[in-house]
Structure 1
Amino acid sequence: MADPVRVPRRRGMSARWKLTLSYAGVVVVSGIGLLAAVAVYLLRYVPDAAIIADRFVPNRSDLIRAFIPAAVVMMLVLLAIGLGGGWIIAGRMLAPLDRIGRAAQLAAQGSLSHRVALEGPRDEFRDLADVFDAMLEQLEAHMSEQQRFAANASHELRTPLAISQTMLEVARNDPARDTDALIDRLQEVNARAIELTEALLVLSRAERRTFTREPVDLSLLAEESTETLLPLAERRDVTIDVGGDSAHVFGSSALLQQLITNLVHNAIVHNRPSAGTVVVRTHVLPHAVALVVENTGDVLPPHLVATLAEPFQRGAERARSDDHVGVGLGLAIVQRIAQAHDGSLVLTARHGGGLNVTVWLPHPFPQPR
C-alpha cells in the first residue's frame, strides 16, 4: 500500500503579526470608544437648531462636521501607533521563543550541545527556556550513553562470533582435530552469545518500560532467587542469609526477579575464594522500600565502585578468567530496572572488602511520618 501523499500546509500569519494586529486593534477600539463617549455624553447637550446670539455659536451639526475629520485623523494616528508599537513589543516578547526555536532546530539537526541560556528575571519564557535546556542536557547525556552502549554491545557481540570463526578456521586446517572438543567449545561460546543477547533484550525492555505493574513481594522474590542460586553458592563455598520485612511494591514480577537474581549472582561470583557470605535483606520505610544485598570480597576503591553500574564494566580484578563472571550487564540491568520502577540504585564499598548494593523503590502506600 502506497504511503499517502502529504500536502504541504500553507504558512499562516506569523505570531508577531498576530500580536501586532491584536495590539493595534485594542488601541483603535479604545480610541473609538473614547470618541464615542465624547460624542454621546457631550454633544447631546448641544442643541441641533440654530443658536441666535450676538456672535456665532456652533450647534450640534457644526460640531459634528468639525469633529469627524479630526477624529479620523486621530484614529489613523492611533492605528499607526498601534501597529508600530505592537510590532516592537511583539518582537521583544517573542525574542525568547525565537531563541528556543533556533535551539530546537539545531537539536533536530543533531546538535544537542547548544543551550538557550536565557538571561533576565524569571518569568514564563525563562522557565520554558530552562526546561528546554534541561531537556537538551538529558537528551545529550542519553544519546552519548546510547552511543557508548551500542559500541560496547557491538564489540561484545562480535567477540564470540570472532572466536567461533577462528576455531572453525583452525579446525579446518588441522587434519587431526578433535571434533567433540570443538563442538563443546563452540557450544560454550554460543551459550555466552545467547546470554549476552538475552541480557540486552532485558535491558531494552526495562528502558522502554513496556511491562504491566502488579503487586509484588520483594521478600518472596528474594527467597526464590537465592534458592535458585544456592547450588552455585555451595560450589563456591558462599553462605547466603536471606531475611527482612515483607516488602510490597508495584511493578513487573519478572523484571524484579531478574533484578534480585542479578544482584545475588554478582554477590556470589564476586566474593572471597572460600568462606564467603552474602546477606539479602528487605526493609519497609514510610515512603520507600529497600532491597539490600551485601557480600564479602576484595576491597574496592571508590573510583571502581562508581563505574560498576555502567554497561560492560566488570572491574579489572573482578573479571578474571571465571566462567560465571557474566557479560558485564548485571548491575546495568539492575539500575535500568530500578529506574523503570521509579527507583534508584546505590553502590557502596564495604569496610573490610565487598560491596553493599541498595535498591530503593517507591512504597505503594506511603505512610505519613
Structure 2
Amino acid sequence: MDRAPGLSVRLKLTISYAGFLLVTGILLMAAVLLYYLYFLPDGWLHTPTGNFWIRRDRLLASFGPFIAGVLCFLLVFGLIGGWFLAGRVLAPLHRITHATRVAAGGSLSHRIELPGRADEFHELADTFDAMLARLETHVAAQQRFAANASHELRTPLAITQTLLDVARKDRDADELVDRLHFVNARAIDLTEALLLLSRADQRTFTRGRVDLSLLAEESVETLLPLAEKHGVAVETSGDIAFAAGSPALLLQITTNLLHNAIVHNDRGTVWISTTVGPAFVTLTVENTGERLTQRLVSTLTEPFQRGTERVRRDHAGVGLGLAIVKSITQAHDGTLTLTPRAEGGLRVTVRLPAAP
C-alpha cells in the first residue's frame, strides 16, 4: 500500500521526550520565578548572620537569561537523549519489521527469536513466530495436498484414456465399459471429496443444534448393507448429544467414521457411541481389526493416506475420509483423536462444543 511519507516513530518519540523535559523545566523555572515575585522580600533582609539588601528588579533581570540558557540546554539534551532512548526502545520493532519483510518475500522459515525478558515487544515477537510456524505448516500441508491431489486425479484419467484406446480396437467392450464406469465413479467421488474438504476448510456453513446420536443412527441405517456384506456387526449406544454445527457436515463425520470402521474390519464389530459433558459432546467410533502402530495412526488424517497394508482392494476409497473428518471437526472448533486399540483396530473420538 502506497502511503504519503511522514515522521518516523523514533522522531516522534524523540520530540515527545524533549517536549516533556522542556515543559518540566519551564514549570520548574516558573515556580522559582513565582517565589522571587511573591515570597522574596524587596529591600533589607535581616538574618541572624547579617543583613542583606535585595533588589528584586535586578534579580529578575539576571534571572531571564539564566532561564533561557537552562531551557536551551534542556531542549538539546532532550533531543539527543530522546533520540538515543527511542532507538533503544524501538530496536525490537526494527527486528520484527525485518522478519515481516522476509516472510512477505516467501521465507516462512525465518523466525524473530527476540531475546530478553517478557514485555509487549517480546509478546508480539513470540506471537508472530507462532503465526509463522503455523503458516509454514499450513503451506507445506497445502503443497503436499496439491501434489497428492494431482497424482490421484491423474491416475483415473490415465486409466480412462487407456481403456478408451483399447475400446476403439475391441468391438466386444462390455467389460471395458464396466471398468471405465468404475474408474469414472471413483474420479467423481474424489472430486466431491475434494469439494467437501474445501468447504469445511472455508467454514462456509450455518450452525444449528444437531443431535449426534440421531446422526449416528442415520449413518448406521445407510451403511448397514455394507456392514452385512463384510460380516461386520454394528452396535450403537449413548445419550442424546446436541452439538452446535452443520447437520450435513456432522453427518459426513459419522458416515465417514462408520464407513472407515467397516471396510477396515474383518468380520468383527464396530461400536459407535455418544456422551455428553458440561461444555462438550463426544462421538466415539471403535472397530476391531489388525493391530496398528502409533506411527501409522498419526498419518491417517493426512490427505490420501490409506494405510495400504490394511485396506481391502474392493473398498480402497479415495484416501480423504479421515482428512475430511479432521477438517470438519476443526471447522466446528472441536478435536479429533485417533488411538490404536491394544487388541487390534482403531478408536476415533470426536469432541465438539455442546449446543447452548
TM-score (norm 2): 0.94
Residue pairs, 1:251-290, within 5 angstroms = 251-272=245-266, 275-290=267-282
Say yes or no: does 1:16 pair with 2:7.
no
1:37-59 superposed Cα distances (whole Å, 9 cap, x missing partner)? 111122334567x88xxx99552
SS at match of 1:42: helix
Question: Does the 8 Å CA contact 1:267/1:294 hold for their aligned counterparts?
Answer: yes
1:247 to 241, 246, 250: 241
1:97 deviates by 1.0
SS at match of 1:241: strand
1:267 deviates by 0.6
1:217 deviates by 0.2
Between stretches 313-322 and 17-26, larger displacement belongs to 313-322
What is the CA–CA distance in structure 2 between the aligned matches of 1:177 and 1:327, rounded to whole Å?
A: 31
1:199-238 superposed Cα distances (whole Å, 9 cap, x missing partner)? 1111111111111110000000000011001111111111
Between stretches 312-321 and 155-164, larger displacement belongs to 312-321
Equivalent residue for 1:168?
164
What is the CA–CA distance in structure 2 between the aligned matches of 1:319 and 1:282, rounded to whole Å?
A: 27
Equivalent residue for 2:287?
295
Residue pairs, 1:343-362, within 5 angstroms = 343-362=334-353
Equivalent residue for 2:298?
306
Residue pairs, 1:20-31, within 5 angstroms = 20-31=14-25
Between stretches 19-28 and 148-157, larger displacement belongs to 148-157
Between stretches 119-128 and 261-270, larger displacement belongs to 119-128
Residue pairs, 1:195-274, within 5 angstroms = 195-272=189-266
- What letter is aligned with 1:195? D
| Identity among equivalent pairs (%) | 61
Equivalent residue for 1:325?
316
1:14-67 superposed Cα distances (whole Å, 9 cap, x missing partner)? 10000000000000000011111111122334567x88xxx9955232222211
Question: Does the 8 Å CA contact 2:102/2:110 hold for their aligned counterparts?
Answer: yes
What is the CA–CA distance in structure 1 between the aligned matches of 2:205 and 2:35, rounded to whole Å?
A: 72
Equivalent residue for 1:139?
135
What is the CA–CA distance in structure 2 between the aligned matches of 1:58 and 1:10, rounded to whole Å?
A: 59
What is the CA–CA distance in structure 1 between the aligned matches of 2:355 and 2:57, rounded to whole Å?
A: 81
Question: Does the 8 Å CA contact 2:36/2:56 hold for their aligned counterparts?
Answer: no
Equivalent residue for 2:47?
none
Residue pairs, 1:84-123, within 5 angstroms = 84-123=80-119
Once superposed, what is the RMSD of the aligned Cα atoms?
Answer: 2.0
Equivalent residue for 2:329?
338
- What letter is aligned with 1:302? Q
What is the CA–CA distance in structure 2 between the aligned matches of 1:214 and 1:233, rounded to whole Å?
A: 30
Question: Does the 8 Å CA contact 1:46/1:59 hold for their aligned counterparts?
Answer: no
1:171-217 superposed Cα distances (whole Å, 9 cap, x missing partner)? 33x2x343333332222111111101111111111111111110000
Gaps of 5+ in 1: 1-5
Gaps of 5+ in 2: 45-50
1:103-146 superposed Cα distances (whole Å, 9 cap, x missing partner)? 11111111111111111111111111111111111111111111
Question: Does the 8 Å CA contact 1:160/1:193 hold for their aligned counterparts?
Answer: yes
What is the CA–CA distance in structure 1 between the aligned matches of 2:269 and 2:258, rounded to whole Å?
A: 11
Q: How many pairs align? A: 352
What is the CA–CA distance in structure 2 between the aligned matches of 1:35 and 1:100, rounded to whole Å?
A: 42
